Amino acid sequence: MLGDSARGSQPDLFGKLSEEERARVIARGRRRRFLRGEAVFHQGNQHDGIFLIEEGLVRVFYTAASGREITLAYWMPGNFVGGPEIFGAGIHVWSGTAVRDTMGVMLAGAELRALVERIPALAMGIIEGLIFKGSCYSLLAQMLGTLSVGERLVLVLRRLTQMYGVATGEGTMIATPFTHDDLAHMVGATRQWVSMTFRRLAEQGVLRVRRGQILILKPAWLESREGLE
């Protein structure tokens, strides 16, 4: 299970609940385990509530008609996936897949509605989670419509550091497995452009990719830049 230091700035819904409140939530739901690579929910399927993550990691992504995928976020323990229709109406507008073996609680929309009416801390946790998700997806939409590719990559790296950053002796590790393909789709560039830019940044001592994770060696350099050539 990821520790608190690996949560980044993502809100922790479970952290807001007392032991008694958490037991009530779990009792109204259904425990599920998803193996690595297994779908938690599918884009286009009927909504039936949310999935509260206790252990593991879930990747949420959108698939275009062309088959192209864009990663929207990785969600850690303490968060939930399955929005925005948290009470079970409509269809899923994106998909979720377990990146590693993942355990959590499925809450049907009707059960969730009953719980938030009775547990204020749960209601606040859901609201904060939706605010956080909304700000992430809004930033992605604004970025694609207003910034150059170089500006987008700097903003994405800065935001990923804020969301998923874990301090190490060398710098800040982005503790989620965003690939060069993921980043290319997020900034509207090619994988080759992202790889070439990362090599240049590595030569400048700004970052290093290690075991599929991005280590930011100079966070201050990243904060001072508006874009890349």
The verdict on residue 91 lying in a domain is: yes
The verdict on residue 229 lying in a domain is: no
Q: Are residues 111 and 163 in the same domain?
A: no
Q: Are residues 122 and 152 in the same domain?
A: no
Is the Cα torsion angle 10, 141, 152, 95 positive or negative in sign?
positive
The confidence score (pLDDT) of residue 174 equals 86
Last residue of a domain, one of 144, 179, 209: 144
The confidence score (pLDDT) of residue 1 equals 29
- What token pair was written down for 34? 């998803």
Say which amino acid occupies 229. Answer: E
Q: Are residues 93 and 204 in the same domain?
A: no
Report the number of distinct structural domains present in the chain.
2
The confidence score (pLDDT) of residue 6 equals 42
Last residue of a domain, one of 144, 174, 204: 144
- What token pair was written down for 228? 């890349």
Q: Are residues 26 and 116 in the same domain?
A: yes
Record the pTM.
0.78
Q: Are residues 123 and 163 in the same domain?
A: no
Task: Tell me how far apart the alpha carbons of residues 43 and 152 are, in angstroms, rounded to a whole number.
Answer: 26
Q: For the domain that residue 165 is a member of, what is the CATH number?
A: 1.10.10.10
ω before 177 within 30° of 0 (cis)? no
Point out which residues pair with 41 in neighbouring strands.
96
| Tens digits of residue pLDDT in 167-223 | 888 888 887 878 888 888 888 888 899 999 999 889 989 899 877 789 999 888 888
Domain that holds residue 20: 4-144
| Tens digits of residue pLDDT in 85-110 | 888 888 999 999 998 899 999 999 99
Last residue of a domain, one of 117, 144, 171: 144
Point out which residues pair with 65 in neighbouring strands.
none
What's the first-to-final CA gap in the chain, in angstroms? 39
pLDDT average, residue stretch 19-48: 93
C-alpha distances in angstroms, 159 versus 10, 61, 155, 223? Answer: 12, 17, 6, 10
Q: Are residues 175 and 197 in the same domain?
A: yes
Q: Are residues 138 and 153 in the same domain?
A: no
| Tens digits of residue pLDDT in 41-87 | 999 999 888 999 999 999 999 898 888 888 888 898 989 998 888 88
Where do the H-state alpha helices sit in 50-190? 109-118, 120-146, 149-164, 180-187
Point out which residues pair with 57 in neighbouring strands.
100
